[in-house]
Amino acid sequence: MTERHPTLAQIEQFIQGDLDDIQAIMVSVHLGACSQCSQLAQQCQQRQASHSLMPASDVEAFDDADLDQILAQLDSEEPASAQPDVETRSPTQLEFQGRTVSVPPALSTLVARAGPWSRVVSRLWSATIQGHQLPYQLNFIYMEPGGSIATHAHKGLEWTLVLDGTFSDDRGDFHPGDLIQCDDQVEHAPYSENGCLCLAAIDAPLHFTSGLARALNPFSQLFFKPGG
């Protein structure tokens, strides 16, 4: 699976209503920005509609091989046929540090519950989203231009949705709508040349792994306040 899209299984779970609220919000924002995944979602929807009309034994398995084929096919199409489903509702405004950024309306409940912004380390800001009953910590994260997060691994899952600007790590550049999932196999050092606003959900504290940055491990708690 690619590094900036939900998995096919997650798209299917989204269509079935099986994702938790936060994952569903993040996937829906991604679908609004990604024509490939929104087409997959439509196909899942059609399949599920037809599945409900036929015996289970007739249902054709839809696996990652199909997905690769579909993505390859979509990649080869002209951009003109790959316009994202544009959100028609007016966007929600997120204000911080004298900036105002428009974010998709699906995030309005999260914006309303965002706590005060605080500086985590130089050029890195975070606002914890309060009041959700899920096992992970939810933050808006803003990297100022030139900002970075020291090399870290994950003890659990980290979902990051890019909302504005671009960040990069050794896997490439990530743009608005990209949904990046890291698990305990991934170690990375995100940075942003021009500034980047993200929504990040993690289910365990980050673990900083590189040299001096290990001293940052106490700060990892700033990203993760259980029950926050």
In the complex, minimum distance from the CB of residue 38 to Zn ion, in angstroms, rounded to a whole number: 8
Of the pair 177, 205, the CB lying nearest Zn ion is at 177
- Interface with Zn ion, residue 5, by CB under 5 A: yes
Question: How near is the Cβ of 4 to Zn ion at its closest, in Å?
Answer: 7
Sole window of 4-12, 135-143, 164-172, 218-226 interacting with Zn ion (rule: CB under 5 A)? 4-12
The stretch near Zn ion (CB under 5 A) out of 27-35, 43-51, 52-60, 83-91 is 27-35
26 is a contact residue toward Zn ion (CB under 5 A): no
Q: Is the dihedral of CA 139, 192, 164, 38 positive or negative?
A: negative
Which has the closest alpha carbon to 26: 107, 93, 94? 107
The CB-side HSE value for 180 (13 A sphere, CA atoms) comes to 24
Residue 5 or 154: the one with the smaller Cβ distance to Zn ion is 5
162 binds Zn ion (CB under 5 A): no
Distance of alpha carbon 223 from its chain centroid, rounded? 16
Residue 188 makes contact with Zn ion by CB under 5 A: no
Q: Which stretch binds Zn ion (CB under 5 A): 34-42, 137-145, 188-196, 216-224?
A: 34-42
Q: How far is the CB of 159 from Zn ion (least distance, A)?
A: 14
**Is 8 an interacting residue with respect to Zn ion (CB under 5 A)?**
no
In whole angstroms, what is the distance from residue 197 CA to residue 145 CA? Answer: 11
What minimum distance in Å lies between the beta carbon of 35 and Zn ion? 8
Q: Does 34 bind Zn ion (CB under 5 A)?
A: yes
CB 198 within 8 A of CB 167: yes
Describe the crossing of helices 64-75 and 8-16 by its angle, rounded to 10 degrees: 100
- Residue 210: enclosing H or E segment and its boundaries? none
Positions 35 through 94 that interact with Zn ion (CB under 5 A): 36-37
String of DSSP letters for 41-95? HHHHHHHHHHHTTS-GGGPPP--HHHHHHHHHHHHTS-GGG-------SPPEEEE
Contact status, residue 29 vs residue 106, Cβ threshold 8 Å = yes
To Zn ion, the closest distance from the beta carbon of 152 in angstroms equals 25
* Count of residues that interact with Zn ion, criterion CB under 5 A: 4
- Nearest distance from C-beta of residue 67 to Zn ion, angstroms: 11
- Rounded distance between C-alpha atoms, residue 104 and residue 92, angstroms: 6
Shortest distance, position 148 Cβ to Zn ion, whole Å: 25
Residues near Zn ion, by CB under 5 A: 5, 34, 36-37
